[in-house]
Amino acid sequence: MRSLVRPAQYLALAVYLVFLGFPLVWLVSASVKSSGELNSLSVSLLPQEWHWDNYAQALERQGIVRSAFNSLVVALLSTALVIVIALPASYVLARVKGKVRMAGVAWILVSQVFPVVLIILPLFLVLRTLRLTDSLVGLTLVHMTYMLPFALWMLQGYVAAVPVELEEAGAVDGAGRLTVLRSIVFPLLTPGIIATAMFSFVSSWNEFFFALVLLQSPENYTLPITLKMFIGGEGKVALGPLAAGAVLAAIPSIVFFSLLRRKLTSGLMAGAVKR
């Protein structure tokens, strides 16, 4: 009886691996198949011949490079802004006790609940008044604002892990608060800052809804919007280049997330369990 448990477990694990992994394998495989093979009725997991043209084509004619550059600019800028403005605030959030902290934490949680769809309408009007719709600056500001709650939450956790005694020692030596922050606290937060920055970058790089609503001119499209536009619209889709573009769009996120794996788990756990 006991001896049957292990094989059954491995069978179950294999089912999971296929469920999780097969779509990925299929996408990558489609990205190197010729269009003849992609449209043929005989379906095979691996390509009959490897066909790298799809990547070249995706890069050449589909506006991918332009929109990837836009995505990169928006993601880098909004990430830098998030860190710079969230860092001081997260310090206050972690160190101040009582009602202020309660209010801050409550807002962070509530901000996760509100359907973006309710905020997007007035946000669109506000940005239109500022002449910032259909602009990468506007999108950057929006991404920054919507990454803030999570960044604050992650960073304040890292601040709380820095012993207060270190700061007190600095203060005794006559350093002002800002000096203490700059020379003692912030350097200790570097790993947390890097993790938060990577998470913010990926959130912005992947973001779809705001970009769809705010951007109108194709030269401003971010990568997700350009990919979506490939599918909709004119007639038959070139599946190979589409798959190649999709693979390229997924690479930064996957690389960052595999680096972040441990930190995210512990960070999210802290959020889930702490009361």
What binding mask, one character per residue, do residues 160-189 give for other proteins by CB under 8 A, x or -?
A: -----------------x------------
Residues 234-263 close enough to bind other proteins by CB under 8 A: 239, 242-243, 246-247, 249-250, 253-254, 256-258, 261
CB of 6 to other proteins, least distance (A): 8
Considering only 125, 161, 166, 169, the residue that binds other proteins (CB under 8 A) is: 125
Considering only 10, 50, 52, 69, the residue that binds other proteins (CB under 8 A) is: 10
Radius of gyration of the chain (CA): 23
Name the segment binding other proteins (CB under 8 A); options: 54-62, 165-173, 182-190, 203-211. Answer: 203-211
CB of 122 to other proteins, least distance (A): 4
How many binding residues for other proteins (CB under 8 A)?
A: 87
26 vs 50, beta carbon nearer other proteins: 26
Residue type, 37: E
Name the segment binding other proteins (CB under 8 A); options: 37-45, 46-54, 56-64, 158-166. Answer: 37-45
For residue 194 the two structure tokens come to 């890097």
Considering only 9, 48, 179, 190, the residue that binds other proteins (CB under 8 A) is: 9
The answer to the question of residue 216 lying near other proteins (CB under 8 A) is no
175 vs 256, beta carbon nearer other proteins: 256
- Other CB atoms within a 10 A radius of the CB of residue 81 amount to 18
Considering only 4, 7, 19, 236, the residue that binds other proteins (CB under 8 A) is: 19
Name the segment binding other proteins (CB under 8 A); options: 24-32, 61-69, 157-165, 186-194. Answer: 24-32
CB of 141 to other proteins, least distance (A): 6
What's the CA gap between 187 and 192, in Å, rounded?
A: 10
